[in-house]
Structure 1
Amino acid sequence: MSDIRSKILDLDTLKEKSITIQNSGKKIVFTNGCFDILHSGHIHTLSEAKKNGDILIVAVNSDSSVRELKGKNRPINNQNDRALIIACLSFVDYVIVFDEETPEKIICDLLPDVLIKGKDYEGKMIAGENCLKANGKVIKLIDLIENTSTTNIINKILNR
């Protein structure tokens, strides 16, 4: 378990690692989400993200951030559990938890080579977009699996 926990880093440590990784010629891919109840849509997105580079960094919204985005009854799972679950996935290299509404500061500090978002962001402003484009980085939108969301799972449970 300690090996898995070592994948969960703070921003300063992650910045140092990112510099070393990029200086070695490896490509860093970044994505983010709440990941409240892990489902097949999350697995699909994260595994597809990993295909776009060598190292996958996943930013997980903190409990307070999830409450701001999803409402007072969320998250179901606390931030430590959610970060640990994401860190357990073999295709995820590093995890960071963030308190803000978006991971813009992390993205602009790390400058990953590729930022992955779902196609539901098409035509919308993406956190970190300006600093990534200014530094020649790529934003890639990937297909999502329809009807897979934590909200749908919660509603299904509540309606039984």
Structure 2
Amino acid sequence: MTESKILTRDQVISQANQWRAEGQQLVFTNGCFDIVHLGHIDYLEKARNLGDRLILGLNTDASVSCIKGPLRPVVNEYARARLMAALEFVDAVTLFSEPTPIELIEAVRPDILVKGNDYTIDTIVGADLVMGRGGRVETISLVPGYSTTALIERIKQSY
């Protein structure tokens, strides 16, 4: 069941079009989601509550390494995708390898684009596209003290 929520680019576009035709509001977010923690769960649940369907763009391993450094990700893309797909409030997961999710956002055409409040509207990739089509961009408050980088540092200090 969870694996069926992991879609190719073409499949996620088709699924988004179907949901849109049914009158459902599409929420899109993206990220690395390496070593899933409470902050991720809280963020994704809140994102899903903004609309009817949550589509998650997940950075590939190569993309994560470019962003976070050569020792990341800790968890490979297949495992990260399965973990994200297992969450009941995530409706579809699709991988992207580009430096930003702009092409994916253009293709999916979400009604609502979501990022954490560590971003501002002017720094959210695709915000202009979504708002230009009449959609909206939301930021979600992050759970203090939860980040994968901080978690990795705590683990390193423990050993």
2:111 matched to 1:91? no
Q: Tell me whether 123-132 or 49-58 shows the greater mean CA deviation.
A: 123-132
Q: 1:73 aligns with which of 61, 71, 96?
A: 71
**Structure 1 equivalent of residue 115 of structure 2:** 117
Report the alpha carbon displacement of residue 26 of structure 1 after superposing the two structures with TM: 0.5
RMSD: 0.9
Per the normalisation by structure 2, the TM-score is: 0.96
Q: 1:106 aligns with which of 104, 107, 111?
A: 104
Alignment partners' CA distance in 2, 1:123 and 1:59: 18
Identify unmatched segments of 5+ residues in structure 2. none
Per the normalisation by structure 1, the TM-score is: 0.96
Alignment partners' CA distance in 2, 1:147 and 1:69: 21
**Structure 2 equivalent of residue 30 of structure 1:** 28
**Structure 2 equivalent of residue 53 of structure 1:** 51
Report the alpha carbon displacement of residue 130 of structure 1 after superposing the two structures with TM: 2.0
SS state at 1:159 partner? helix
1:51 counterpart letter in structure 2: N
**Structure 2 equivalent of residue 128 of structure 1:** 126
Alignment partners' CA distance in 1, 2:99 and 2:42: 23
Using the aligned pairs only, state the percent identity.
Answer: 41
Alignment partners' CA distance in 1, 2:62 and 2:86: 23
Alignment partners' CA distance in 2, 1:98 and 1:123: 22
Deviations 1:70-94 (A, max 9, x none): 0000000000000000000011110
**Structure 2 equivalent of residue 154 of structure 1:** 152
Alignment partners' CA distance in 1, 2:121 and 2:102: 18
1:15 counterpart letter in structure 2: I
Identify unmatched segments of 5+ residues in structure 1. none
Report the alpha carbon displacement of residue 124 of structure 1 after superposing the two structures with TM: 4.0
2:125 counterpart letter in structure 1: A
Alignment partners' CA distance in 1, 2:74 and 2:12: 27
